[in-house]
Amino acid sequence: MQVHHRPQVEDPLAIHARAVAHRIESVERDLARLGASGAVHPSVRELLDQSREELDRVLERGFSTASGALPIQLQHAAILRTAERLAELLAAASRSEHGEAEDAAARVLLGCLARELPDHFALEERHGYLSQALEEAPRLASRVEALEQEHRLFTEWVRRLQQQLDAPGVAVAWTEVYADFGKLHERLLDHERAEGEILREAYEDDLGGRG
């Protein structure tokens, strides 16, 4: 799928639109690779449907105006939705309530997080948001630094989990994967919440200062 609207100065919303288009393509490719196309799990079906709707809405909105915090908000919502669905699948797997479709769905959703988290972090670090927040309120520097450190931790954590699910010839220890992902999920929620706080503080201060 191609995203045709290319602004001269790239709007982070355009970067996000490409990420959503890439998500759709990658999930479809993973489904084909895992041989799960005949029995697409509802979690994955939902992810695809919501992604297509999101892409349509973003393309309809266009990239001619400043998108503000919208791309990052959309990414937070998508990442947390995917993490929530994966947590549910792993919870069921840890209770032995799973078959091929569930296992494939867990791999697809984890693959989705593994691809999207680094891109999301790059968007936060390079295209405004956290760096923009720092310009507005330099006193937030140490908290922003701590959050950026966490980005690397999440990226490595998800990769480790992927290796556990993809290890050839080894039975997946679903209970362990569920417990480990539970910790990651909790920390990711805290991370995004802390980020929301920083953005709020930075922009509220900014508004106060100018008012």
Positions that interact with Fe ion (CB under 5 A) = 124, 195
> Least distance (Å) from Fe ion to the CB of residue 199?
10
b/e string for 110-143 if b means 16 or more Cβ within 10 A? bbbbbbbbbbbbebbeebbbbeebbebbeebeeb
Within 13 Å and on the Cβ side, how many CA atoms surround 69?
Answer: 15
Of 72 and 110, nearer to Fe ion (C-beta) is 72
Of 30 and 195, nearer to Fe ion (C-beta) is 195
Closest among 2, 151, 9, 127 to 70, alpha carbons compared: 127
Of 59 and 194, nearer to Fe ion (C-beta) is 194
Of 179 and 189, nearer to Fe ion (C-beta) is 189
134's CB contacts (< 8 A; 6+ apart) are 140, 141, 144, 202
Within 13 Å and on the Cβ side, how many CA atoms surround 29?
Answer: 9
47's CB contacts (< 8 A; 6+ apart) are 27, 81, 82, 85, 108, 109, 112
Instruction: Give the C-alpha separation, 177 to 171, whole Å.
Output: 12
Of 102 and 195, nearer to Fe ion (C-beta) is 195
Of 154 and 178, nearer to Fe ion (C-beta) is 154
